[in-house]
């Protein structure tokens, strides 16, 4: 899953980038509204962490512009927005939700709580009620970062985990390699490498042949079955 962190406090932004990357997310940073605008029009994100007070504007306006389509965000139709607001400011929290934010977190916050809220927002599409995704005999725990197949633990690299998580939120659907590159890799990824194909290949071997079907010319589909 790919996140855009819009935060002008450098130390906080860098801390979030490190912590969230360690948690397995692809993370891009934007230091102001203008950078966020640019990133949103070019890249596809699953969730945006949005600071309310930005040097060149405010998070509310940016959020509303995304929701009304004023900012063209072709790949962001399922974008979740989590606002970062100032302590105790009730009007900020209310306004954020009214402007289309899905949730908010009051600064300062603990990374563990932020990560739990991110997981909760990202599983809304999957009708999941816990941190675990299940497709067939594959179970992926987004909180503990563990994958089991028929209760046997599987050792995955960070990118293999990211690809599997993305496919598991879209079971039975064909997902293109461009879409995987957009949602599992960050802005530093080279769009012309074979990295997606290679990662899907090693993931498929670990899950078992037949687990991920290649749909020629379209992409990949997770079947969840080992045979």
**Which residues of this chain interact with Ca ion, rule CB under 5 A?**
8, 51, 53
Our CB check for Ca ion shows the closer of 107 and 170 to be 107
User: Shortest gap between Cβ of 8 and Ca ion (angstroms)?
Assistant: 5
Look up residue 14 and give its two tokens: 């860098």
Our CB check for Ca ion shows the closer of 54 and 156 to be 54
User: Shortest gap between Cβ of 105 and Ca ion (angstroms)?
Assistant: 13
Across the beta sheet with 146-149, the strand order is 132-135, 138-141, 146-149, 152-154
- Which residues neighbour 158 within 8 Å (Cβ) at sequence distance 6 or greater? 24
Our CB check for Ca ion shows the closer of 59 and 219 to be 59
Look up residue 54 and give its two tokens: 């930005």
The burial class, CB within 10 Å (0-12 / 13-18 / 19+), for 217 is exposed
The residue at minimum Cβ distance from Ca ion is: 53
User: Shortest gap between Cβ of 7 and Ca ion (angstroms)?
Assistant: 6
| Among candidate residues 47, 44, 41, the one with its CA nearest the CA of residue 23 | 47
User: Shortest gap between Cβ of 10 and Ca ion (angstroms)?
Assistant: 10
Residue in the structure block whose two tokens are 């995304």: 66
Say how far residue 124 (Cα) sits from the centre of its chain.
12
User: Shortest gap between Cβ of 52 and Ca ion (angstroms)?
Assistant: 7
CB 77 within 8 A of CB 71: no
Our CB check for Ca ion shows the closer of 20 and 49 to be 49
CA atoms within 13 A on the CB side of 90: 0
User: Shortest gap between Cβ of 106 and Ca ion (angstroms)?
Assistant: 13
Our CB check for Ca ion shows the closer of 53 and 148 to be 53
Strands 57-58 and 53-54 turn out to be: antiparallel
Kindly report the number of other CB atoms within 10 A of residue 210's CB atom. Answer: 12
Our CB check for Ca ion shows the closer of 7 and 28 to be 7
């Amino acid at each position: 899953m790919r996140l855009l962190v819009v935060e002008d406090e450098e130390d906080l932004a860098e801390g979030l980038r490190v912590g969230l990357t360690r948690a397995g997310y692809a993370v891009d940073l934007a230091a102001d509204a203008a950078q966020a605008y640019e990133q949103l029009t070019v890249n596809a994100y699953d969730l945006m962490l949005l600071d309310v007070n930005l040097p060149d504007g405010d998070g509310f306006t940016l959020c509303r512009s995304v929701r009304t389509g004023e900012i063209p965000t072709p790949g962001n139709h399922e974008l979740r927005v989590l606002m970062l607001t100032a302590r105790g400011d009730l009007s900020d929290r209310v306004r954020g939700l009214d402007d289309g934010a899905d949730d908010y977190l009051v600064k300062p916050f603990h990374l563990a709580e932020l990560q739990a809220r991110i997981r909760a927002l990202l599983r809304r599409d999957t009708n999941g009620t816990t941190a675990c995704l299940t497709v067939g005999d594959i179970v992926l725990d987004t909180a503990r970062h563990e994958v089991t197949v028929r209760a046997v633990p599987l050792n995955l690299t960070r990118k293999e985990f990211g690809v599997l998580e993305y496919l598991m939120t879209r079971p039975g659907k064909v997902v293109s390699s461009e879409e995987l590159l957009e949602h599992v890799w960050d802005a530093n990824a080279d769009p012309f490498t074979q990295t997606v194909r290679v990662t899907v290949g090693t993931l498929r071997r670990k899950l078992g042949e037949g687990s991920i079907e290649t749909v020629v010319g379209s992409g990949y589909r997770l079947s969840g079955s080992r045979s």
